[in-house]
Amino acid sequence: MIQTHPIFMACRRVFLPLVSIVIALIAAPGASADVGPSFPEFLISAVRTAHPPHFCGEPVPMDNPEVRERFEKEFLLTLGDPSQVILWLKRSRRYFSIIEPMLRSAKLPDDLKYLAIAESSLKPHAGSPKGAMGFWQFIPSTGQRYGLTVNVNKDERRNIFRATEAAIQYFKALHEEFGSWTLAAAAYNMGENGLLAEMREQQTDDYYLLYLPFETQAYLFRIIAIKLICTRPEAFGFTLQPGDYYAPMAFDRIRIDCTRETPVRLIAQAAGTQFKVIKDLNPEIRGYFLNAGTHEILVPKGAAAGFQARFAELLRQSASGQNSQIYVVQKGDTLVSIAAKFDVPLLNLLLWNRLDSKQPIRPGDRLTIHSRK
C-alpha cells in the first residue's frame, strides 16, 4: 500500500476546502478573472480586519504575537470550511431566536451563544466519542447534574430549551468559580477540575498564558472566529439573503399524561401530522414510545386546538384493542413466520411488542398485532 506523507495529508485537509471558496468567488455574479484581489490576498485582508476586541466583554490581548497567531490559525481554518459556515449561519436564525432571550433573561453575556456553534454546529443529535450529546455537548453525568433527563427513553441534551437551561446554570457556576468568562469557557471545554489543576501547577489564572490541552488552547479562538463571522458575514464573503436563513421554530406546546407506554405515532395522529414531524420537533424522544408519566411535547403550530380530545380518543381505541388483536404464540412459531402470517413487516411486530430480533419467543406468549391499515 502506498503511504501518503503526513505533511501532504495535513495540507490537503486545510487547503482542499479552500478550493470551494475560490470557485465560489470566481463563479459569483460579476466576478472576473482580471478584476479584484486574488484568493490569498482576500484571506490576508480578512485576517487583517478580524481583530477581536473582546469575548463576553473581556479583552483579547491581540498585541501578544503568540495570541495573534493562535487566533489567526483558528480564523483561517474556520474560513477554510465555507460549507459548514454557511450551515451555521442558516441555522442561527432558527436556534438563536431561542437561545438569545434565555441568556438575556438570565443576565448572561450574549457571546455565550457562540459556544453552541463551536460545540455542536447547532445540531441536536451531534455526538462525540466521549459520550457528549446535543446542542451544548453535555456528557451524561454533567447533564444530569444540571437537571436533564438522560436515559433510554428520553435524552434532554437534544432539547434546545432544556439543554440551554442546563447550560445557563453551568455557565453561572463556572463563572462564580473562576471569576472570568474566558476561564469559564475553557473550563466548559476541559472540565473545571482539570483547569483548576493546571492553574495551580502553572501558577497563573490567565487563559492566554496557560499551557492546556491543544483543543482547549484553540477553543476560545474558535469561538471568537465564529463570533466575528456570524456578526459580520458579508465582510468575510458570506452574503446571505433573508430567505436563505432557516425559519425559527413554529410550534404549540402541549402537556400530555401517559398512564402507560404510549406510541409516538398516536401523538402524531392526534396532532394531524407525521411521525417524523413530532420526532424532529422533540429530538429528545428516543425510539418509538413515550414512557408512562407527564410529558411536555411540541406539536406543529395550530395543532394544539382540539389535540387533547383527539389524543384521548386514540388512547381509548388503543387500550380497547379496537385496531389490534392478541395472538398467542404456538409451537413452531417464529417471529418471521408470525409476521408473514399476518402480512406485517417484522420490524413492526418487534416495535409493537418491544422485542429484540434475537429474543426468543415461546408457546403461550401473547403478541399484539395491529391491523395492516
Q: What is the DSSP string of 144-159?
A: HHTT--BSSSBBGGG-
pLDDT in the model for residue 80 = 85
Query: Would residue 189 count as lying in a domain?
Result: yes
SS3 for 318?
helix
DSSP string, 188-226: HHH-HHHHHHHHHHHT---GGG----HHHHHHHHHHHHH
Give the whole-angstrom CA distance, residue 287 versus residue 289.
Answer: 6
Considering the domain architecture, whether residues 159 and 228 belong to the same structural domain is answered as yes
Q: What is the dihedral of CA 11, 12, 17, 22, to 10 degrees?
A: 80
Considering the domain architecture, whether residues 185 and 312 belong to the same structural domain is answered as no
CA angle at 344 for the pair 343 and 347, rounded to the nearest 5°? 150
Query: Would residue 22 count as lying in a domain?
Result: no
Give the whole-angstrom CA distance, residue 49 versus residue 42.
Answer: 11
Domain edge (last residue) among 216, 244, 272: 244
pLDDT in the model for residue 334 = 87
Query: Would residue 48 count as lying in a domain?
Result: no
CB neighbours of residue 215 within 10 Å:
10
pLDDT in the model for residue 326 = 81
- Total number of domains in the chain: 3
Domain edge (last residue) among 228, 244, 260: 244
> CATH no. for residue 90?
1.10.530.10
CA angle at 235 for the pair 231 and 236, rounded to the nearest 5°? 95
Considering the domain architecture, whether residues 262 and 340 belong to the same structural domain is answered as no
Query: Would residue 2 count as lying in a domain?
Result: no
Domain edge (last residue) among 179, 210, 244: 244
Give the whole-angstrom CA distance, residue 237 versus residue 246.
Answer: 19
Considering the domain architecture, whether residues 238 and 108 belong to the same structural domain is answered as yes
> CATH no. for residue 340?
3.10.350.10
Query: Would residue 1 count as lying in a domain?
Result: no
Considering the domain architecture, whether residues 283 and 360 belong to the same structural domain is answered as no
Considering the domain architecture, whether residues 166 and 303 belong to the same structural domain is answered as no
Considering the domain architecture, whether residues 188 and 310 belong to the same structural domain is answered as no
Give the whole-angstrom CA distance, residue 114 versus residue 116.
Answer: 5
pLDDT in the model for residue 320 = 60
Query: Would residue 23 count as lying in a domain?
Result: no
DSSP string, 251-310: EEEEEEEESS-EEHHHHHHHTTS-HHHHHHH-TTB-TTEEPSEEEEEEEETTTTTTHHHH
Considering the domain architecture, whether residues 154 and 225 belong to the same structural domain is answered as yes
Q: Which residues of the chain have pLDDT under 50?
A: 1-16, 18-35
pLDDT tens for 132-141 read 999 999 999 9
Considering the domain architecture, whether residues 175 and 273 belong to the same structural domain is answered as no
Q: Which three cell numbers stand for residue 15?
A: 487547503
Q: Which three cell numbers stand for residue 108?
A: 448572561
Query: Would residue 14 count as lying in a domain?
Result: no
Considering the domain architecture, whether residues 102 and 170 belong to the same structural domain is answered as yes
Give the whole-angstrom CA distance, residue 282 versus residue 263.
Answer: 14
Is 93 within 8 Å of 245 (Cβ atoms)?
yes
Considering the domain architecture, whether residues 183 and 308 belong to the same structural domain is answered as no
Residue 200: which domain range? 54-244
Considering the domain architecture, whether residues 120 and 237 belong to the same structural domain is answered as yes
Query: Would residue 90 count as lying in a domain?
Result: yes
